[in-house]
Amino acid sequence: MIRIKLKELKLQKERDTNKRITWIEISKKTGISTGILTRACNDPSYNLSIDTLDKLCDYFNVSPGDILEKIKD
């Protein structure tokens, strides 16, 4: 199974910038709806589109491998 590590990336960005970041702020800056962000965080079977993954990579300044993690079933 592939896990999406958005919560971890959000927490890391909050630590790095020393400010709280909301899902609404991420949504506004990326153009990704809050519904998609919430589902990507909470639904292990959710599939991100390549476009969404690309926007998240740009926002968090990471590569896809930093967002996605392979977990043994």
pLDDT (tens place) for every residue of the chain, 73 residues total: 888 999 999 999 999 999 999 999 999 999 999 999 999 989 878 899 999 999 999 999 999 999 999 888 7
pLDDT at 1: 83
Q: Which fold has domain 2-68?
A: 434 Repressor (Amino-terminal Domain) (1.10.260)
What ranges make up the beta strands (E) of 1-73? 2-4, 68-70
The answer to whether the Cα torsion of 71, 1, 69, 38 is positive or negative is: negative
Tokens of 28: 């506004």
pLDDT at 12: 96
